[in-house]
Structure 1
Amino acid sequence: MSTPFAKAMALIDAAHAQDPRRIPIPKSQSTNPSEPPTASSAAQPESASSSNDTDTIPYELHYAQKMTHYLTLRCSDPSTPAPSEPLSLAIRAQHLRRWEIPRASYPMTKIGYHSWRSALQRHQAQIAEAMCLEAGYGGPEAARVAALVRKEDLKAGDPETQVLEDVACLVFLDDQLEGFAGEKGAEYGEEKMLGILRKTWAKMSEPGRALALGIEIRDEGVKELVGRAVQG
C-alpha cells in the first residue's frame, strides 16, 4: 500500500514534470554513489518519462532530484539526524511550480526581487501543503512542510530549516553558479558577484560549507571567485 510520503513525493514530482523549461539530461559522470543521480537513473513520474523528448528533462524535476541528492549528503554528517518526512518533502518541493510566477511579473528592482521571492515562497508552500493533505497527511504535518518551504524558522535557528538552506545553497553552487556567472557576470561585475557568493557562504552551516568545498567548479574564473569569497 502506498504511503502518504510516497503519494506526496509523486504529486510533487508530477508537478515538476510540467515545467515547460527543459534541459539536456545530464550525463552520468561515474558510478560513485556520491555523484548526483541523472535523470535516466532516478525514478521519474510517468508524466515525465512518457515524453517523446527522451534527451531532455524538465528543469524543475532535475533541480528537485539534485535537492534530494544533496539532502542525503548533508544528512550523512554525524551531527545531523536522518531527515524527517516533512523535511524530505520540503526539500523536494523547492521551486514547486515556480514558473507560474516569473521574475518579470515584479519590478526589476531590489524591492521587486524580494517581493517576488516572498510571493514564490507563499505560492510554493501553499501548493506543497495542499499536496500533503491530498496524500493523506494530517494538518500539522502538512503545515510543517509548508513552514519549511517558507523557511519560517531559519533566523530562529531551527535545525531542519538550516539543513534546507544548506541544501539550496549547495545546489546553487553545483548546478547554477557557472551558468549564472556566464549570464550575469559581465553585467554585475566582480564585486557584486563576490558579494553574492559571500552571502551564500554566510547562509551555510559548517557541515554545509564542508560539502561546498568539495564541489567541482570547471570554470577557472568562477573557481577563483569562489575561493576569494570563501576566504572573506
Structure 2
Amino acid sequence: MLPQTEPRFSQAIAAFDARNARDPNQSLVNGIAVPKELAYAQRMSEMLQRYAPQASEAVQLAARCQHIERWTLPREAYPMTKPGYHQWRRKLKEYHAQVAREIMQQAGYDTETMDSVAALVSKDAPLANAEMQLLEDVIVMVFVEHYLEEFVGQHPEYDVAKWKDILHKTLRKVSPAGHQALLTQIKLPQALVPLIQEVMTEGGWIPTAG
C-alpha cells in the first residue's frame, strides 16, 4: 500500500520538494516553467506509480529525492576529465543520500528506513537487490520519456553508431519487466522509436520479427 497518508511520509516528500523548488534552473512542463529538479522528482514519482504502484515506502522516497539539490554540485566544479566526471557523480550520490537522511530524520523516520533510502539514492545497493533494480528501471524510463530527445538534440556530433552504443549501455541496466514496460507504458520520442527498437532487438530484449 502507498504510505501517502502517513504524516512522516507526507512531511518528507514536502521537504524534498521544498529543497528542489529552489533550483534556479527551469524545465518546461506542459508549457509551464518548473524548477528543474522539482520537475524531475515529480516525474520520478509519477513513473514509479505508473510502473510499480505497490512499491515500498523506501523506494517511493528514494525516487522523489534522487537528484535533490543537484544544482549545488555543478559538473564544472570538478576536472573536465573522465576521472573528474566519476568524482562528481560519486560526490552527488553521497550528497543526495546525506540530504535525504537529514530530512527523513527530521520527519521521524527510523534508522532502518533511512539506511534503505540512503543505499538506494547513493546506489550502494547492488542491482541484485530488487528495490535497487526497480529504482534503476524507473530512472531509465524517466530519462527515455522526458530527457532522451533533448539529450540527442544537444549532441549533433554523435553518429548512429554512437547513439546505439549509448542506448545499449543505458537499456542494459533495465530488468526484463522494465524492457517490456519501455515498449508498452512509456511515451517514446517518436523520432527515436526505430533506433530504440533496433537496439532492444540487438540486445535480445525484444524478440526479432518473424
Flag the 1:113–1:65 CA change in 2: closer, same or farther, 3 A: same
The equivalences for 1:142-221 within 5 A come to: 142-155=114-127, 157-184=128-155, 186-214=156-184, 215-220=186-191
- Runs of 4+ aligned structure 1 residues displaced above 4 Å come to none
Is 1:6 matched up with 2:16? no
Flag the 1:166–1:2 CA change in 2: closer, same or farther, 3 A: closer
Tell me how far apart the structure 1 counterparts of residues 196 and 82 of structure 2 sit (CA, whole Å).
23
Q: Which runs of 5+ in 1 are unaligned?
A: 28-54, 77-81
Percent identity of paired positions between Structure 1 and Structure 2: 38
Tell me how far apart the structure 2 counterparts of residues 91 and 217 of structure 1 sit (CA, whole Å).
21
Is 1:110 matched up with 2:97? no
Match of 2:39 in 1: 62
| 1:2 Cα deviation after fit | 6.3
Match of 2:95 in 1: 123
Is 1:136 matched up with 2:94? no
Structure 1 length normalisation: TM-score? Answer: 0.79
Tell me how far apart the structure 1 counterparts of residues 138 and 182 of structure 2 sit (CA, whole Å).
10
Tell me how far apart the structure 2 counterparts of residues 61 and 172 of structure 1 sit (CA, whole Å).
15
CA contact (8 A) 2:67 2:96 kept: yes
CA contact (8 A) 1:178 1:219 kept: no
CA contact (8 A) 1:21 1:59 kept: yes
CA contact (8 A) 2:104 2:114 kept: yes
Residue deviations 1:49-91 (CA, integer Å, cap 9, x gap): xxxxxx3211111111110111112215xxxxx2111111001
Match of 1:25 in 2: 29
Q: RMSD of the TM alignment (CA)? A: 1.7
Tell me how far apart the structure 2 counterparts of residues 166 and 16 of structure 1 sit (CA, whole Å).
22
Structure 2 length normalisation: TM-score? Answer: 0.87
Tell me how far apart the structure 2 counterparts of residues 83 and 218 of structure 1 sit (CA, whole Å).
26
CA contact (8 A) 1:16 1:61 kept: yes
Match of 1:224 in 2: 194
| 1:195 Cα deviation after fit | 1.1
Give secondary structure in 1 for the equivalent of 2:154: helix
Q: Which runs of 5+ in 2 are unaligned?
A: 203-210
